[in-house]
Structures are given as structure tokens and as C-alpha cells.
Chains A and B, each alone.
Chain A
Amino acid sequence: MQSVGLEAEKMNGQQMDALLRRFERPLLQYATRILGDSDRARDVVQETFVKLQDEKRQQLDDAPAKWLFTVCRNGALNICRKEKRMTYLDQELLETRESEQPDPYEKLEAKEASGFLLKILDTLPPRQQEVLQLKFQNDLSYQEISEITQLSVSNVGVMIHNALKTLRQRYGYASRDFLPFAPRTVS
């Protein structure tokens, strides 16, 4: 966001539009991961943008991403609390437990690779997915991620490190040119 002349000026339509374009999908994915439900996620993201409408631009300063993800996250967690779901945060297991999913496998050709990495990403523990998304989709710094997620900076660093390591292993494994079950025929 460019700095502005008027104090307490609110977003104008163009700025809103730009933010929507840039962050709507990332926020939806983010909220969906927390809530496990894309309908509620849409509500949360909508509320986030409605709040953005009323937010003074100064407060957004140079970090609309941090603001958006923080508000979105809190909104999503509020719903978790209200509906007494086992929340994302309560699940300590999430940090360590690998998703109980088989490693994906795929015959990968260069063209088909697109989108595939994100599928492997889904096999990571949810909090690792969260920090990766904030870091690599939304270019937030460790510091900003720490503020959004309430994790320490070094904790963020460890999670990203571990997540990347796992991801690279799985990606390398998955890229190998074979399919474990197909087109093999059971005879």
C-alpha cells in the first residue's frame, strides 16, 4: 500500500480489489485448513474483508498480509471455540503426527507436475502446512508468521525447516517414475 495523504482514510475500491485478488484465495485456503470446512471458511474470509473495509489504512501500514491473516485466523479460531470443535490449536498431536496418509505416488511428467507439489503438501501436519502457506504463498517473514500464529520465531524456523525437508523427500520419492499399483493388473 502506498502511503496516503489523508489520515484515517479508508480503503478505496481499487485498493480493496487489489487485496481481494491477491489474498482471497490464500485466505480461503488458510481458513479452510483451520476449520476443515470451506463454507465456514468463506464466511470467515468475508468477515475479514468486511472488517478491512472499516479498517483505517494507517493501521494496515505496509503489512496488509499480516493484518489479513491475523484477523482471518482469529475469526476462524473463534468459530472453532464457539462450536466447541476440537480446534486446530488444541490438537497438540497435529504438530508431530504425520497425516495418516500414504505417500502419494504419481507418474510425473514435467507438465503434469503442476499442482502435484501442493497435493503432497496436504500430507504434512496441518501446522506445518500453515506456516509454509504463510511463508511461500504470502511472502511473510518468520517474524510476521510468529505474530500471526503466536509461535516463537525459532519455532517457526524449525517448522519450516522440517516441513521443507519432509516435502523434498516426498517430492523426490514421488517424482520417481513409477506407480505402485497401476497400471499393474492383479492376476
Chain B
Amino acid sequence: MKVNLDDPNLTAFALGELSVDDHAKMADAIADSPEAQSYVAETQQFARLLRAEYEADRQQPSPRSPFVVRMEEERRASWRYQWGSLAAALAIFGVIAAVAFTAIQRSGTLSKLLTDNPKPATPQESASETILEMEAPATPGPLLALQPPKPSGTAAPEFVEEPKLADKSLGYDQRQKPALDAAAGKYGGLALNPSAPPPPMPMKRAYVAGAGETPEAEPPSRYRQDFNTATYDKVEENPFLPAATNPLSTFSIDVDTASYANVRRFINSGSLPPKDAVRVEEMINYFTYDYREPEGDKPFSIDVDATACPWDSSHRLLRIGLKGREVANEKRPASNLVFLLDVSGSMTPAERLPLVKQAMRLLVDKLTEKDHVAIVIYAGGSGLALKSTTGDQKEKILRALEELQAGGSTNGAEGIELAYKVAADNFINGGVNRVILATDGDFNIGVTNQGDLIRLIEAKAKTGVFLSVLGVGTDNLKDSTMQKLADKGNGNYAYLDSVDEARKVLVQQINGTLMTIAKDVKIQVEFNPARVASYRLIGYEKRLLRKEDFNNDKVDAGEIGAGHTVTALYEIVPAGAGATDPATSVPPVDPLKYGTNTTNTTNGSGEVVTVKLRHKKPDGETSELSERSFTDNGSKFENAAPDLKFAAAVAEFGMLLRDSQYKGKGTFGAVIEWAQEGKGRDTAGYRAGFIEMARKAQSLKPREG
């Protein structure tokens, strides 16, 4: 009997799915068909392979914990479950996981967070070092030449946990704790705590460079301690801090906007975003505000204004606005761009690689013959899909883009190495040198450990090549990874949820996205205790710096692009105003026994704050200081500038989505009202989009009108 190889029963036979009788019949039938026998054998072999693949995949811990955590929470709430050993297992990471839960729900990275323990050098780490060395002599960018002299004698600080950083991260913690700690004098009045920095946390040296390597002292970076901990992604909101004992507030600027687009995606798809997907400063900074143009050749202007806080009228809302110098498109210096595109299998859906291609087409359209574009792709392997090509050869660039297809798994690290190498090979002195990484962030081959990836990018950033990260995709969007990559790579991070968003980031704001006009921009605000009882910085939780870091040029901070505006809001409890809402009140602080040194300052003046800024030129290593004081004239919210009303609306919207304890009396309804009053000309329609989104959020929120 001739066996039909396309008979489903043959497969069923191979898989042992036939009844005893049918099985025997089939066995007879194939007895004299070597073809059928080999088909069966192959099927069985393939089934084994498939099982093994599924099993290997199942062993991947990634999606496991988020909802175990939620179940744990439910269990705790109701006490009706018996969990036995599971509960014990959960106890180990219960606290961490519980706080990280929402972030993870969004990013699905718990497994990484849990497994990302700091670890000794791996081959990849060494590899990243080697590449750096290789690139440096090849085409030294201006930054390399300008780097400060490297102290020698210290062993490879790249992987050494620096005590200084340890106490810095301690500093973060203190800031994030309730202001109660202030009573303990930790925030020290200026004179109270003359020289008692927190003791360095003992850190073991995890890695020592191979003998003979040139030790390279690395400037301290902000988050060294943070990126390997699960608590990183939890946004613990800044508390109110008393101005008397804690007059300085220091943070790095942030021009990322990804959180806004991501929040919008959630709301448009009919659900409110997880709390920790909402980074209020990124929401506020999504919008451009009408600040003054910088004077002379200053890279940016500083604007300060204030109004009554709309969600608590006894408080004041202080706005600090920076505006980066506009650069006309024709005046943008020559650009050397390397598109680093993730073409792995996960990028297949329309809103991923196809959207990225559309975005890139928009960008390519804006380029001219002085610009250069290369395309590096990565999946299981990486390759140069287009060698560096001038911007007038659009057809060639577009054709190369067109031919890209998604498939395979992701080896991000290899692609990053290659992209930076191409960028270095084509380095334009005084030009824009930038790698534009577009990915869903699902790095699953090669260096997958988030910490290692970030270290890799950090090393690459020193070559003078900046980074833009374009995030796409939904369910496996590794938001936190990308935010950190951009942060470490002297870059910006935008989330693309639509072609419109791509147009905003890559066309309308092309110069801001591509052209960094000042780097390591830090803000330090000094509050006058005579005018301010306490204050709270809204958002920027992940950008806080210690007050000492402000004047320390080795401490990395955010970059500002041409035409970018950066906005920070403070909620201020004026001196003398009774704190009415328990959520915003500061625990009383005992009077300082030894007094403070504020007596000889200008606290009798009407000044509320002095805002100080430090920045470096894009290729500089020494910072410049700018300063501006502000006296509040007590204006009412009704009379506030429309722009400020709008910023207040966005801030309150973010706090409502976070269900913040500081949201005050605001409602979605009020947010919509303020936003409408503050809509202004809104030529691009972004503010109208916000109002629409707020309406939608209002309808999604169960119990609010």
C-alpha cells in the first residue's frame, strides 16, 4: 500500500496519537516505504527539537513573577489562600517585587531585574573594553582629546563600585524617604553638618582589569549603583522637604518624552497605564513651552515664574523653564548618522519595524548632501546594510531601508559595537555624530544582562558619539532598559507609537533630537527659608543629584538639544501658610540647637528662589554656571500665563494617573479645564491631543467625574 506522505495520520502515528488498532495498521503500511519511515523519524526528531525549544523557553523566568506578585498581594489582602512554600519563596523578593510590580507589568523585565546581580567580568565586558581601545586611535573624536587626564594607578574603575557613588545612591534614598529624616539632620543645615558625608558603603571590587591595560579613570556616573537593582524602576515620588534644613534641590535635566507616548498608547487602547509607566517630568517635557530665546551666544535661556497651585490654592507652583537655542535646519552642522535597527523576529508587527522604516524615511527626507547615513542592522548576527552614504543619495538609502526584513533573535550588543564603530569611522569633527537605535529593546542574545549593555553604551558614549533611542512595540517594550541606554549614551529616548509621533521627533524637532547644544545640564535651586516653608520637586525622581554633584564636573547629567524646552515644576508651601492637607505637610522639625548660618544671607529679601544652572559645551569638559533669582508676585492661577496653566494641567494629569498622594484636589475634569485655558495657539495640535487623552482617561477612571 502506498502511503501518502501528506496524510495527517502519518504525523499522528509519529506522535503516538493513533489508537492501538490504527497504529498497528499504519505500522504495517509504512513497513515497505522507506520514504514514509524516514518521514516518521524526521517528524519525531523534529518534535523532540520542538519540545526542547518550548521547554527551554518555558525555563526562561521572565513573565513569571509579575502576577505571582499580584496574587501574593491579593492573598495578603484576603488571607483566603494557602500558599505554603510559594509564600516562602515570595518572601525572598516580595518587597522588591511588590514595589516593582507595576513597572514590570509594563516592561516585563522582572526576570532581568532579578537576575541582574552585579557579577564579575564576563567575556562581553572585556570585549567592550577592547573595542573602545580599538576605536580610540582609529578616529579620535574631539571629545577624546578633551577628556580629562586619566589618573593612573587605580585599577579599571569601569567595574569597580566606587564608594563615592555608593554614598550618592544613599543620598537618593534619603531624598526619597519622607522628610522625616530631615529632623535627624541628614539634610543638614548649611552649617550644621560641616563635614560629615555619609560613610562610604563598603563595596567589593568586582573586577580588576587585566594587567597591562591602561587603567582609565571613569568619571563617576549617576546610576552605577542603581541599574542592577529591582527597585530602580519604581518611581518613589519626591516628598515635600523643609527649606530651612534642606534649602538646596539639585537635579539633572531630562528631555526624554517616551513616557508620554507610552501613556497615550495605554489610554488609547482603553486602559489606564501602570503607575510607574507615568514619569511626570517626561509628560511635562513632551510639550514645548514658549520661553524666551537665549540671549547672545548662550546655549539656553532660563525662565522662572510662579502662580497659585491649582490643586491646592494655599500653595504656589513654581516653574523653571529652559529653552535651548534654535538652530535653523540649514545651519545644522553636517550629520554623521548611523541607524542601528533591530530586525529581530519580535520587530515584525506593523507598529515595529515597518513603523521604524517609515520614521527613518521621514528623517532621510530632511538630510542633505553634507550629511552621512549608514544603516547597521542586528538580529542573531549584525551587519552593515548600508555603508555610510551622503544624504542626497536618498534613493539608495531608502532602497536599503526597504529591503530590511525582520527575523531572528536579538543580539543588541554586537549591533551596538558595530554601529559605534561605523560612527567613529565617519566621525565629523564639529558635526552631529549620532547613533539612532530603534528597537523594542528585547535583547535576547549575546549581552542580555541590562547592566552589561548599559556599561557597553557608557563606554561608547565617550567616543563623542551621541545616542538617540527610539522605542517601539507594546507587550515586550523594555522601557526601562531603553531609558537607561539613552541616559548612559548621552542621548534622548522617544517612544514611537505612530507615524505622527515619528514626525514630531524626527522631523519637527529634528534639530533638537540630533543636535546637542549643551551637555551635562544640572539645575540647583536654592530656596529662601524666609519665604518657603517646604517644597516638592514634581517628577525628576530618577534625575536627582546630590548637592555636591552640582559643582562636580565629573558627574554626568542630561543633554539639551537645539530648540528643546525643559520644564521643572515645584510645589511650594509658602512660609507662614498653614499646611492644611496632611499629605503635603512636612513633619515638624525641631529648631536647630546650634543655629544655622542663614542669618547673614539675604533671606530678608523677597526672593523665593535662586536657580543655578551648570552646563558644558557639547565637546567641552568644564562647566559654566548661570544663575537667576526669582521674586514671586503672588499671582493667581486665573491670571497665570496660559503655558503655565497647561504645564500645571499636565503635571496634575500625571499625578492623577499615578494616584499620587500629592495630587491634591485636582480631578480629570479640572485638568481638562486648565489645559483648555492653557492651550494657546497649539499649531501642531499636541495640546489638543492631550485634552483628548485626558477626556479618555476621565472616562476610564471608575469613580471620578
Contacts and interface: CB of A to CB of B under 8 A. Distances in A.
Contact of A104 (B66, B270, B345): B345
Given A13-B82, A50-B71, A161 B384 contact: no
Nearest to A16: B86
Given A154-B8, A164-B43, A106 B407 contact: yes
A132 interface: yes
Interface in B67-114: 67-68, 70-71, 74, 81-87, 89, 105, 108
B385 to A, nearest CB: 6
A60 interface: no
A28 B63 CA distance: 8
B502 to A, nearest CB: 22
Contacts of B403: 181, 186
B474 A116 contact: no
Contacts of B17: 141-142, 157
Contacts of B444: 115
Nearest to B17: A142
Contacts of A154: 8
B84 A117 contact: no
Given A83-B270, A142-B17, A168-B42, A136 B54 contact: yes
Contacts of B269: 37
A42 B67 contact: yes
Given A16-B84, A107-B381, A182-B385, A38 B108 contact: yes
B246 interface: no
**How large, as a class, is the contact surface on chain A?**
35 or more
A119 B57 contact: no
Contacts of B270: 83
A186 B396 contact: yes
A132 B57 CA distance: 14
A25 B63 CA distance: 6
Main secondary structure of the interface of A (DSSP, over half): helix
B284 to A, nearest CB: 25
Interface in A27-50: 28-29, 32, 37-39, 42-43, 45-46, 49-50
A53 B81 contact: yes
A31 B45 CA distance: 28
Contacts, number: 189
Contacts of A168: 42, 46
A80 interface: no
B511 to A, nearest CB: 28
Given A24-B68, A38-B63, A185-B386, A13 B85 contact: yes
Given A16-B83, A17-B85, A118-B53, A157 B11 contact: yes
Contacts of A10: 82
Given A25-B58, A46-B67, A105-B408, A186 B86 contact: no
A165 to B, nearest CB: 8
**How large, as a class, is the contact surface on chain B?**
35 or more
B51 A136 contact: yes
Interface string B19-57: 000000000000000000000001100110111011111
B564 to A, nearest CB: 32
B264 to A, nearest CB: 16
Contact of B84 (A17, A115, A157, A162): A17
Given A14-B84, A17-B86, A187 B387 contact: yes
A164 B11 CA distance: 9
B11 A114 contact: no
B15 interface: yes
B68 A20 contact: yes
B381 A182 contact: yes
B405 interface: yes
B439 to A, nearest CB: 16
B407 A105 contact: yes
Contacts of B68: 20, 24
A114 B56 contact: yes
Given A53-B81, A112-B445, A181-B405, A117 B53 contact: yes
A142 B396 contact: no
Contacts of A94: none
Enumerate the 4 nearest inter-chain pairs by beta-carbon distance, A residue then B residue, closest first: A13-B84, A104-B407, A182-B383, A183-B383
Given A142-B17, A171-B46, A181-B404, 18 more contacts: A12-B84, A13-B85, A13-B87, A25-B58, A26-B58, A38-B475, A42-B63, A115-B53, A116-B380, A133-B54, A160-B11, A161-B8, A162-B8, A179-B383, A181-B385, A182-B381, A182-B384, A182-B385
Interface of B: 6-12, 15, 17, 42-43, 46-47, 49-51, 53-58, 60, 62-64, 66-68, 70-71, 74, 81-87, 89, 105, 108, 269-271, 344-345, 348, 377, 379-387, 396, 399-400, 403-409, 444-445, 474-476
25 contacts: A25-B58, A38-B108, A50-B71, A101-B348, A115-B53, A115-B56, A115-B409, A115-B445, A119-B344, A119-B408, A137-B55, A142-B17, A157-B8, A157-B12, A157-B17, A158-B8, A160-B8, A161-B6, A164-B11, A164-B46, A164-B47, A179-B381, A181-B403, A182-B382, A182-B383
